[in-house]
Amino acid sequence: MTQTFIPGKDAALEDSIARFQQKLSDLGFQIEEASWLNPVPNVWSVHIRDKECALCFTNGKGATKKSGAGFCTR
Judge whether 10 lies within some domain: no
Residue 46 belongs to some domain of the structure: yes
Q: How many domains, the chain? A: 1
Residue 53 to residue 4: CA distance in whole angstroms: 31
Query: What does the alpha-carbon distance between residue 22 and residue 27 come to, in Å, rounded to a whole number?
Result: 9
Q: Which residue range forms the structural domain that includes residue 69?
A: 32-74
Q: What is the pLDDT of residues 27-37, one digit of tens each?
A: 999 999 999 99
Enter the pTM of the model: 0.78
Altogether, the residues listed in the chain come to a count of 74
Q: What is the DSSP string of 2-60?
A: -----TT-SS-HHHHHHHHHHHHHHTT--EEEEEEEEEETTEEEEEEEESS-TTSEEEE
**Residue 72 lies inside a defined structural domain of this protein:** yes
pLDDT digits (tens, 9 = 90+) for 56-74: 999 999 988 888 877 676 5
